Structure 1
Amino acid sequence: MKKKIVISIGLLFGVLFLATSAYGYYLYKSVTDTVQEIHEPIERVTEKREKEVDVESREPLSFLIAGVDSRGDNHSGRSDTIIVMTVNPDKQSVKMLSIPRDTRTEIVGRGTIDKINHAYAFGGVEMTMDTVENLLDIPIDHFVSINMEGFQGLVDAMGGVAVENSFSFSQDGHDFPEGELFLSGEEALAYSRMRYEDPRGDFGRNDRQRQIVDAVIQEGAQISSITRVGSILNEVGKSVRTDLDLDDMWKVQSNYRDARHNVEQLEMSGNGTRINGVYYLEVPNDELERVRGELRGHLGLNS
C-alpha cells in the first residue's frame, strides 16, 4: 500500500513537472516569437552621447514613445502622440513628457520647419528621434511605436486599466465621470483622444495619453497579468514596434523596473499661432530651456 502511495505521488509530481516545463517552454517561445515580430532594428548614431548607455551599470536612458494614428497592423502615418520617457534607476524615477503634435520645430533630415508630428510621416521613427533630440537637446536611446487602433486590444488583453479622471466628459459614445475609472480598450482609446471638451485642448489630451501609457506599464508589470500572457503577447505583436531585442528587454526589465513606481508627468507649454493659415504651437525659448534642463538633469548629463 505504501509503495502504491509513493508511486502515485511520484507520478503526480512527474505530471506537474512536465506540465510546468511545457508551460515554461510555451511562455519562452511566445515571448521570443513576439519579440522577433516587434523588433525593428535601426541604424542610427546619436550625436548627443559620447558613448552608448551601459545598461548593466544602470545608467539613465531615454525612450521615444510614438503613438501612430493608423489602421490595422500598419505602422505608417503621423505620430499624433509623442512622449519622451527618461528613466533614472538610481533615483528610482521616470519622467514622461508629452510633446504637443502641433509644436513648430525643425524637421531634422528634411531641412524644413513644420509640425513635429509630420516627422514620422516624412521619415519614420528615425527622423522623429532626430527631430526630438534636436528640439530637447537630449539623446533618444530607444523607441517604441504603438498603433493606437491596435492599442485597445492590448488594454483589453490586460483586463483593462485604471486612471484618475479630473473632470466629467463624453467621447465617442462613452461617458467618463470624474474620479477613478477602470477602462476597457475601447474606452481607453476614446479617453486618450478627447480634446474638444477639454479647456486645455491638446495639453489635456496629452495628460490623458500619458495616463494610459503609464497605466499599461503598471498593469503589465503586475503578476496578475501573467495569466493573460498569451493574449497580451498576441496584441503586443499586432500593435507595438521597438528597436529593443530580447536581450535588451531582459536587461532593461532587470535593471530599471523599480523606477516605474515613481512616475512624474511633465508638460511643455507654448503659444498658438497661425502661419499661412496653418495652426502651430510656438514654444518660447525659456520654456524649452526649462524642459531641457529638467530632462538633462534626470539623465545625468552635463548642462
Structure 2
Amino acid sequence: MRTRKKRKKKFGLVLISIIGILIIGLGSYIFYLYHSIEKTADTMYIPLKEDSKSEKKAREEKLNKKQPISILLMGVDEREGDVGRSDTLIVMTLNPQKEKMQMVSIPRDTKTEIIGDGRVTKINASYAYGGVKMTKDTVEDFTDVKMDYYIQVNMEALSDLVDAIGGITVQNDLDWIDEGYYKKGYHYNKGILTLDGPKTLGYVRMRHLDPQGDFGRNERQRKVISAIIDKATGLSTVTHFDEILDALGDNVKTNITFEQMMDIQKNYRGVRKSIEQYEVSGQGTPPGQTYYLNVSDEEKAKVHDMLSGNME
C-alpha cells in the first residue's frame, strides 16, 4: 500500500512537471506567434485615406461595446499588366449577441451605378475604376448598408493559404474536368473533395461549365471560405502558422488594425455558431447581348433588410 502511494505521488510529480514544461513551452510559442501575427497585421494594414476621425471613432466604439459590425470581402484578380477587378464581393455582418454571421454574395456581373464614376455597368468594374474606395462606396450604395471594414485578398494568395493549412475538404455538387490554366485536366468528382492550393483556385474560378454560371461559382467560393475558416481555426494548424502568415502578409490588405483583430477574435468568435449565406439574384440579359445581372428594387430591399437585420 505504501509503495502504491509512493508510486502515485511520484507519478503525480512527473505529470505536473510535464504539464509545467508544456505550459512554459506553449506560453513561449504563443508569445512568438503574437508578435509574428502583429508584424504580419501591420504589413496588411492599409487604412482608407478618406476615412474621417469620426468614422474611425465610431468603429472603435462598436468594437468596445461588442456591437454588430460589417466587413466587405473583396477577392481581387490582379495579374501582371492588369489593373484587376473585384471578381468576388461578399458582405459579412457579425452579430455577437445573436451569435450569427451573415454572408451575402454580390455577383460580379450585377448591373449598378459605380459611385464616384457615374457609369452604370458591372459592379466588379468598380475596383478597376477606383480601387477599394470606389468598390466600398458602390457596395454601400447597392445594399444601403454602411461597411465598417474591408478585407482585400489577391486571389493568387488563395493557393498559398490553402497549402499553408494543409489543404481543405469541400462537398462538391458538380462533376467537371478543369481545362483552365492552373490545373488543366484535373477531374473534380462529385462528392467529398480534398483540395490543395492550385486545385482550390480551379474550383473557385470555374463558371463556364456550371449550369448556374456565376451563381454556382459564388456558391463554391462560399464553401471554400467556410472550409478555410474551419481548418485555420483548428489546433492542427498551429504548427503551420509561419506559412499561414507568409501567405497572408503579401496578399491581404485591410483597414482592421492588429488590436482590432484581437478584439474581433476574442469577442466575436461565437458568430461561427450560426452562418447564414445568401446570393443576390436577378434577371440576366438575353443571349447575344453583353451579359448583365439586373437586380430588382425588391431584391435590393430584401438584401438590405437581411444585412441590416443582423446589425441590430
What residue in structure 1 maps to residue 176 of structure 2?
169
What residue in structure 2 maps to residue 38 of structure 1?
44
Q: Does 1:217 align with 2:217?
A: no
Deviation (angstroms), 1:45: 4.7
Structure 1 range deviating more: 163-172 or 271-280 = 271-280
Q: Does 1:77 align with 2:89?
A: no
Residues 168 and 176 of structure 1 are in contact (CA less than 8 Å); yes or no, is this contact kept in structure 2? yes
Deviation (angstroms), 1:275: 11
What residue in structure 2 maps to residue 93 of structure 1?
100
Separation in 2 of the partners of 1:40 and 1:75?
21
* Equivalences, count: 292
Q: Does 1:254 align with 2:266?
A: yes
What residue in structure 1 maps to residue 9 of structure 2?
none
1:21-43 C-alpha deviation (Å, 9 max, x unpaired): 65344322211111111111113
Q: Does 1:152 align with 2:159?
A: yes
1:34-67 C-alpha deviation (Å, 9 max, x unpaired): 1111111113459999943511222111111101
The residue identity in structure 1 corresponding to 2:73 is I
**Alignment TM-score, normalising by the size of structure 2:** 0.85
Separation in 1 of the partners of 2:212 and 2:287?
21
Do the aligned partners of residues 45 and 37 (structure 1) sit closer, same or farther apart at CA in structure 2, a change above 3 Å counting?
A: closer
Secondary structure, in 3 states, of the residue corresponding to 1:279? coil
Residues 48 and 137 of structure 1 are in contact (CA less than 8 Å); yes or no, is this contact kept in structure 2? no
Unaligned stretches of 5+ in structure 1? 1-8
What residue in structure 2 maps to residue 268 of structure 1?
280
Secondary structure, in 3 states, of the residue corresponding to 1:55? helix
Secondary structure, in 3 states, of the residue corresponding to 1:154? helix
**Alignment TM-score, normalising by the size of structure 1:** 0.87
What residue in structure 1 maps to residue 210 of structure 2?
198
Deviation (angstroms), 1:15: 8.3
Aligned with residue 283 of structure 1, among 288, 291, 295: 295
Secondary structure, in 3 states, of the residue corresponding to 1:232? helix
Separation in 2 of the partners of 1:156 and 1:24?
22
Do the aligned partners of residues 48 and 298 (structure 1) sit closer, same or farther apart at CA in structure 2, a change above 3 Å counting?
A: farther
Do the aligned partners of residues 13 and 37 (structure 1) sit closer, same or farther apart at CA in structure 2, a change above 3 Å counting?
A: same
Do the aligned partners of residues 108 and 49 (structure 1) sit closer, same or farther apart at CA in structure 2, a change above 3 Å counting?
A: farther
The residue identity in structure 1 corresponding to 2:202 is A
Q: Does 1:227 align with 2:239?
A: yes
The residue identity in structure 1 corresponding to 2:241 is V
